[in-house]
């Protein structure tokens, strides 16, 4: 288990001889003690490790080598760059650094000092808006990097992604934001270890950009929400058969044909199609092949009606279904869901045609534990009583 070790906790080792007995316990045994402490008192691990470093040089050395994760940065005292250098000299095995809390002081100069931590596998730069393409060049010196979070780094552009092209170990990359274009994704074609890629909000990414991803066959989770993606782009994803999670929220150009292209992704357990307004019942029929699906979000797919829900009702592994804003959903449509024996969460927000009759139908679904019928103006207290022993969210938006 990695340890969150605050930079404010640097304590000099005591200059003394190592005593016999408990003072020179083997590192392996100390690791076991730390593991037990982590499991029982996770919130106090940092305090424990600070105290350990004060015992003697042997314990201090072990504590330094046991520190794998550095977080909780303070903005007072020595400059951030100097702190990184100090830490690099003391903690040789650091693998994870979280700079998201220092968004206002993390600069390109800060990142240049990360070369002193060559074993980094996890770097979180969430909302470090001062970082530019120049700073991202530090990744050349981090060959073991597996996880990189650049969400909200608005000054990182497509050109900056060129610095990532040789990170063959990279497994998770978050580029959520607005600065990335298609050409930037072309720099990622060699990152064949990628399993997670978040491009949500990259509104300048189009079908051409997705075509560069077709060779990244290990991708399991892909988020292209609000990208300018059409059916052609989804065709580029058809070969990513390892995918278990696909997020297409707000991709308004996707049609029924596009869903036909992803029908072969039979390992999908989560699919987000919210606000894909051109999808109809015919498109949802393509989803019947996704027999492993557990989470399906169809909110604001306003052309979805009873026929579409009949197809959804065949997805017997579903645990969570989001239909909020699907205004054509009726009581008859809800009857099509009775075969979903594992369904636990159902969102019917603003499904204005649903009445008490529909809720009485849902009352027969014994696994259903949470239902949201907010904005369902035809639902009354009588209908809500049909869902006794469930968590029911209800608010009449029209009052």
The model's pLDDT over 4-27, given as tens digits with 9 standing for 90+, comes to 444 333 333 444 454 556 567 666
| Residue 103 confidence class, pLDDT cut points 50, 70, 90 | confident
336, 362 Cβ separation under 8 angstroms:
no
120, 145 Cβ separation under 8 angstroms:
yes
More confident residue, 113 or 196: 196
**Per the structure block, which two tokens stand in for 67?**
């520190």
Whether 397 shows a pLDDT value over 70: the answer reads: no
pLDDT of the residue at 16: 45
Q: How far apart are CA 344 and CA 350, in angstroms?
A: 19
**Per the structure block, which two tokens stand in for 347?**
């969102």
**pTM score:** 0.86
Q: Is 300 helix (H, G, I), strand (E, B) or coil?
A: coil
The alpha-helical segments, DSSP class H, found in the chain are 27-40, 45-52, 57-66, 80-90, 108-112, 133-136, 182-185, 207-211, 231-236, 256-261, 281-284, 306-312, 331-335, 356-362, 381-385
pLDDT of the residue at 55: 65
Span 156-193, pLDDT tens digits: 999 999 999 999 999 999 999 888 999 999 999 999 99
pLDDT of the residue at 259: 99
Q: How far apart are CA 182 and CA 31, in angstroms?
A: 47
pLDDT of the residue at 89: 79
Query: Which among 202, 97, 109, 183 has a CA at the least distance from the CA of 142?
Result: 97
Span 372-392, pLDDT tens digits: 999 999 999 999 999 988 888
Q: Is 393 helix (H, G, I), strand (E, B) or coil?
A: strand
With a pLDDT cut of 70, the percent of the chain lying above it is 80
| Residue 44 confidence class, pLDDT cut points 50, 70, 90 | low
- Mean pLDDT for the chain overall: 87
Sign of the alpha-carbon dihedral angle for 339, 341, 343, 346 = positive
Length reported for the chain: 399
Q: Write the CA distances from 56 to 12, 68, 87, 346, integer angstroms.
A: 10, 21, 19, 58
Residue 205, burial from CB neighbour count under 10 angstroms (0-12, 13-18, 19+): buried
pLDDT of the residue at 210: 98
pLDDT of the residue at 11: 38
């Amino acid at each position: 288990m990695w340890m969150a070790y605050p930079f404010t906790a640097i304590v000099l080792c005591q200059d003394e001889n190592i005593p016999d007995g408990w003072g020179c316990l083997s590192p392996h045994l100390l690791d076991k003690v730390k593991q037990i402490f982590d499991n029982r008192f996770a919130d106090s691990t940092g305090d424990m490790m600070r105290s350990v470093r004060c015992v003697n040089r042997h314990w201090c050395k072990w504590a330094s080598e046991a520190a794998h994760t550095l977080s909780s940065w303070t903005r007072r005292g020595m400059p951030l760059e100097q702190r990184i250098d100090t830490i690099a000299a003391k903690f040789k095995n650091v693998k994870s650094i979280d700079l998201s809390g220092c968004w206002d002081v993390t600069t390109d100069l800060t990142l240049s000092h990360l070369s002193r931590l060559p074993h980094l596998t996890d770097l979180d730069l969430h909302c470090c808006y001062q970082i530019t393409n120049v700073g991202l060049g530090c990744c050349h010196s981090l060959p073991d990097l597996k996880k990189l979070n650049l969400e909200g780094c608005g000054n990182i552009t497509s050109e900056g992604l060129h610095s990532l092209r040789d990170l063959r170990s990279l497994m998770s990359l978050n580029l959520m934001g607005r600065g990335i274009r298609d050409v930037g994704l072309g720099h990622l074609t060699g990152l064949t270890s990628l399993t997670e890629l978040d491009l949500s909000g990259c509104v300048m990414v189009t079908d051409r950009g997705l075509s560069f991803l077709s060779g990244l066959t290990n991708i399991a989770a892909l988020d292209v929400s609000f990208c300018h993606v059409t059916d052609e782009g989804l065709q580029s994803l058809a070969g990513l058969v390892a995918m278990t999670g696909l997020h297409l929220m707000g991709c308004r150009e996707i049609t029924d044909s596009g869903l036909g292209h992803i029908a072969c992704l039979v390992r999908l357990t989560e699919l987000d199609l919210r606000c894909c307004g051109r999808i109809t019942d015919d498109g949802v029929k393509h989803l019947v092949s996704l027999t492993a699906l557990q989470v399906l979000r169809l909110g604001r797919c306003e052309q979805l009606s009873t026929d579409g829900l009949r197809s959804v009702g065949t997805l017997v592994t579903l645990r969570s279904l989001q239909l909020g804003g699907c205004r054509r959903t009726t009581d008859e449509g809800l009857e099509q869901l009775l075969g979903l024996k594992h369904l636990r969460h159902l969102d019917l927000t603003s499904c204005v045609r649903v009445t008490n009759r529909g809720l009485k139908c849902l009352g027969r679904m014994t696994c259903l534990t949470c239902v949201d019928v907010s904005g369902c103006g035809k639902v009354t207290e009588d209908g809500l009583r049909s869902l006794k022993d469930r968590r029911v969210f209800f608010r009449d938006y029209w009052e």
